[in-house]
Structure 1
Amino acid sequence: MPGKFVVSLTCAKNDTDKATVAFVVANAAVASDKKTLVFLSIEGTRLSQKGYADDIHEEGFAPLKDLMKSFVEAGGEIYVCSPCFKKRKLDENNLVPGAVIVGGAKLVEFMGEGAPSVSY
């Protein structure tokens, strides 16, 4: 099933259940041969930082750091909202593998051909 899929994630340690489920769904999408993007915005941008997700492990799921790693290794991309990132004064030199800081236009470009999306 070729095509695109977007998972928009606004949570991190403020709602670890949503953060975890977002990457579970993203992994399912990329495994279904979809060009898959996770868009981190608001508090979700914190997940772009190496080490931040290391202690997040919801019962019944793989640890979040493992879900993020497998997503990127499978070809998934992580876009990080630039204004949200800057507002939180995060470190551009500490990005997790696969993460790229982008403006909203880049997300619109990716979704421009009608990519389905879910939000957490």
Structure 2
Amino acid sequence: MSGKFTVSITSAKNDPDKATVGFVVANAAVASGQETVVFLNVEGSFLAEKGYADEIHEEGFAPLKQLMDQFTEAGGIIWVCSPCYKKRGLSEDNLIEGATIVGGARLIEFLSQGAASITY
């Protein structure tokens, strides 16, 4: 077992349930000692914009912003799909703290090290 885990999140306000559950699972992974990467892509890339997740709160879960903050505070890593971010006209100047814009090669490198992966 590699000790690495990836959560790919393709949703944001278009499906806040998926975005929220993705971060719930990511928090569980990082809490269990896995080196955990959340890869924000497609619509999920919006979550990397400061303030975007502040109003997302699915019933039965902690607010998304809180889940995201807990994840990074626990040592979780947030990567944002570069072409997805640019396609949506988002600015690197408005990137949330702890997030890094990466290309697909970086994700493939992490996955090739044996990381398990799940997508929301």
User: What are the Cα deviations for residues 60-105 of structure 1, in whole angstroms up to 9, with x where unaligned?
Assistant: 1000000000000000000000000110010101111111000000
Secondary structure, aligned partner of 1:22 = helix
1:116 counterpart letter in structure 2: A
TM (normalized to structure 2)?
A: 0.97
2:88 is the alignment partner of 1:97: no
Deviation at 1:111, TM superposition (A): 1.1
- Aligned-residue sequence identity (percent) comes to 68
Contact 2:2 2:113 in 1 (8 A): no
Taking the aligned partners of 2:61 and 2:81, their CA distance within structure 1 comes to: 26
Question: How far 1:47 sits from its partner (Å)?
Answer: 0.1
CA distance in 1: counterparts of 2:94 and 2:113, whole angstroms = 32
Taking the aligned partners of 2:2 and 2:57, their CA distance within structure 1 comes to 31
- Cα deviation for residue 11 of structure 1 reads 0.2
User: What residue is the counterpart of 1:36 in the other structure?
Assistant: 36
**Runs of 5+ in structure 2 lacking a partner?**
none
**What is aligned with 1:22?**
22
